[in-house]
Amino acid sequence: MPEPIIFAIPKGRILDEALPLLARVGIEPAADFFDPKSRALVFATNQPHISLIRVRAFDVATFVAHGAAQLGIVGSDVIDEFDYSELYAPVDLGVGHCRLSLAGPADSAPPGATGFGGASHIRVATKYPATTRRWFEGQGIQAECIKLNGAMEIAPKLGLASHIVDLVSTGRTLVENALAEQTVISEVSARLIVNRAAFKLRSAEVPALVERFRQAVGDAAA
């Protein structure tokens, strides 16, 4: 028997939208996947040769890039942040829509010709330091990135950073913390990602799965 295909899916915001998509391609998790008391991280599916792992979104990219999983679902924000050369992202799944944005106090200046009072340096709190630095470099501004994994919105209030870069959906959390969305850095959606080596070495299985996802997305959009 060949080794099972390991499919990494994220905890959190994308999971609820990813499950119907998996069902459309014929992959259904075993019952214990839905047990809130379960501490398991690896789950069987109705496909004997496919197992699921459920991990944090940032870890999905790492598992797939290093070959511990052959496929995964993750937001384009994570793909851009890590920029792993081993990842192939062949299908935009059309779910998990949001945006990665720069936000700051409602009365602060957005970036631009006179943004930040002409300052050439800014301190930003973010979970996306690589993406943030690249974006600010394009604006001719040096960004000092303070890495946070949550509670981003309180960083300006406590003086940790003047601005934040974070995912935004409705913007309600920003408003409740006296922040304003100033610039959209990128539009985000969930992507199917594949380990490049697995795509070649398991050519009888992995490319066929990719096509099933592509077809499922096309059918949903029709």
Check whether 94 has a pLDDT greater than 50: yes
Pairwise CA distance, residues 50 & 37, whole Å:
23
pLDDT in tens, 71-83: 999 999 999 999 9
Domains of the chain (ranges, CATH numbers): 5-96+189-221 (3.40.190.10), 98-187 (3.40.190.10)
Residue given tokens 């409602």 in the structure block: 106
Q: What digits encode the pLDDT tens for the residues 111-157?
A: 654 455 556 789 999 999 999 999 999 988 999 999 999 999 999 99
User: Residues with Cβ < 8 Å from 46, sequence gap 6 or more?
Assistant: 26, 27, 28, 30
Cβ count near 119 (within 10 Å): 11
C-alpha torsion sign, points 182, 77, 191, 46: negative
In this structure, the number of other CB atoms found within 10 A of the CB of residue 150 comes to: 8
DSSP 3: P
Q: Distance (Å, rounded) from C-alpha 183 to C-alpha 119?
A: 17
User: Which residue from 183, 124, 169, 178 is spatially nearest to 148, judged by alpha carbons?
Assistant: 124
Q: What is the pTM of this model?
A: 0.90
pLDDT of res. 36:
84
Separation between Cα atoms, residue 87 and residue 79, nearest integer Å: 8
pLDDT score recorded for residue 38: 86
Residue 47 corresponds to which tokens in the numbers above?
A: 């496909």
Q: Using CA atoms, how far apart are residues 57 and 77, in angstroms rounded to an integer?
A: 10
Query: What's the chain's average pLDDT?
Result: 92
The count of C-alpha atoms lying within 13 angstroms of the C-alpha of 119, restricted to the half-sphere facing its C-beta, is 15
| Distance, C-alpha 2 to centroid of its chain | 30
